Structure 1
Amino acid sequence: MTYLVRSIALLTFIIVSANAKPLVIVNLTEKASAQQNQSNSTTTNIDGKLTEPLWQKATKVDNFSLPWRKHIPQATVFKSFIDDKDFYFAFQVNDNEIVIQENISDEIDVASQDRVEIFISKHHDLSVYYCIEIDAKGRVLDYKAKIYRQFDQSWQLDQLNIASTINENGYTIEGKFPLSELAKIGLGENQFYIGLFRADYSSSTVVGSSIIKKSDIQWISWINPNIAQPDFHIPEVFHPAVLSK
């Protein structure tokens, strides 16, 4: 992609993004308090099962696609809500062939297997953004980045609580972290930008931690960036979001 074409694409994204309806992360503080009083237990148990009623009222995204393939992907559902203290999120993933390493030596190994991803940024130009990638066993690769693909793996999302379950249909990821962690990186009070993604591997894709057929990876995204090659590290795959008051 030439510089001129790339610049035009980015300008188009900025204009469209400015007029896009933000994803509203619903605030369930009152419902969470009521549930806690009734059950005399914690509001949401992070166990990868999503059995609590609050998840039925959470913000839901289920229109994921394969922008670089012509067929319909296996289903992916993202859910999220906040209460007065924490940001909760979950992925429900249909996967008929989960590709995962039983043991990993470094968190970067998460990037060589089936996983879901949440990217967030205060700025639509991705001058700084934060990435959380989670494999089917709930192991996390988190890092800070700057456009374009300037990665800083020293950053970690503190107090991140993750659980996963694997079932006959695929896997579920459930997590939460304090809203104060968003405040530390300048997010939460105003509109921010979010990217929701999934990497779907097949057994022909990897041997151990080595990717042998990158072309077989199915790159699944909530937002279709309308570009020729898969890339989750560009502004076009992010969408405005706000936390409900």
Structure 2
Amino acid sequence: MKTYTVNRIEESTLNINGLGNSTPWKTAELLTDFIAPWDLEFKPKVAFKALWDVNNFYFCFHVEDQEVYLNTTDDSIESIGSSDRVELFFRKDKDLNPYYCLEMDSSARLMDFKAKAGKVFDFDWNWSKHGIELKSNVNANGYTLEGVVSISVLKELKLLYNSQLEVGIFAAKFKLTNETQRHPIWMSWVHPQVTEPNFHQPLTFGSLILKG
């Protein structure tokens, strides 16, 4: 299983602003080895980093893209689900029973849900009820998405144990192919080892080790 080290920072020293440029971020490891397993000619320009303190788990994505797509029809699941976005899946165990999904677009809209193996989704469950903060920024070169969730919630959901989180880290790009159609390009930190696009399976997860 691939691993990423989450460095510890002093309590309450990181305030997210959507830019990912607060001083504590300088101490974070940078994860950039994303792949597009079903579009091998596409070279992802995605960077992820994470930090933690006694109260919170912080994460930040930066996506280089000069044509960020946001479906602004409404704020529905369908609109978020057809927008460029970044994603974190947290699993309780390798059986995916259950796992919890955060899908976040460039405007910090959130599609969050609880799931079980076989793509059994429960959209009545919301991470926002347990506490989450997201901020983002879009510019000519791409977008940044920052988030924070509480350590207590990760423990309550039995996602954090032995100072480790098992997490899938993903991104989606809806690339314009003609005047009216867009092709989804799916990007992942871990190669999913399947021939058809599917992040909702055990082989897409890696281990985040909380150090310190």
- What TM-score does the superposition give when structure 2 sets the normalisation length? 0.91
Question: Displacement of 1:124 after TM fit?
Answer: 1.5
AA at the equivalent of 2:68: I
Q: Would the aligned equivalents of 1:188 and 1:243 in 2 still touch at CA under 8 Å?
A: no
Unaligned regions of 5+ residues in structure 1, if any? 1-19, 34-41
What is residue 115 of structure 1 aligned with on the other side? 85
CA shift in 2, pair 1:26/1:118, >3 Å:
same
What is residue 22 of structure 1 aligned with on the other side? 3
Question: Displacement of 1:166 after TM fit?
Answer: 0.3
Residue 161 in structure 1 maps to residue 142 in structure 2: no
Q: Where do 1:166-205 residues align within 5 Å?
A: 166-190=138-162, 191-204=164-177
Q: Considering only aligned residues, what root-mean-square deviation do their CA atoms show, in Å? A: 1.9
For the pair shown, the structure with the greater C-alpha radius of gyration is 1
Question: How many Å separate the matches in 2 of 1:113 and 1:171?
Answer: 13
CA shift in 2, pair 1:232/1:125, >3 Å:
same
Q: Would the aligned equivalents of 1:107 and 1:139 in 2 still touch at CA under 8 Å?
A: no
Question: How many Å separate the matches in 1 of 2:111 and 2:17?
Answer: 19
Greater strand fraction, Structure 1 or Structure 2: 2
What is residue 62 of structure 1 aligned with on the other side? 32
Question: How many Å separate the matches in 2 of 1:23 and 1:205?
Answer: 38
Q: Where do 1:88-107 residues align within 5 Å?
A: 88-107=58-77
Q: Would the aligned equivalents of 2:159 and 2:166 in 1 still touch at CA under 8 Å?
A: no
Greater helix fraction, Structure 1 or Structure 2: 1
Structure 1 stretch displaced more, 197-206 or 158-167: 197-206
Question: How many Å separate the matches in 2 of 1:101 and 1:205?
Answer: 16
Question: 4+ runs of 1 displaced by more than 3 Å?
Answer: 203-207
AA at the equivalent of 1:137: S
AA at the equivalent of 2:64: N
Question: How many Å separate the matches in 2 of 1:221 and 1:21?
Answer: 12
The superposition leaves residues 113-156 of structure 1 with CA deviations (integer Å, 9 ceiling, x where unpaired) of 10000001121221210000000100000000000100001111
Question: Displacement of 1:232 after TM fit?
Answer: 0.5
Question: How many Å separate the matches in 2 of 1:242 and 1:206?
Answer: 44
Unaligned regions of 5+ residues in structure 2, if any? none
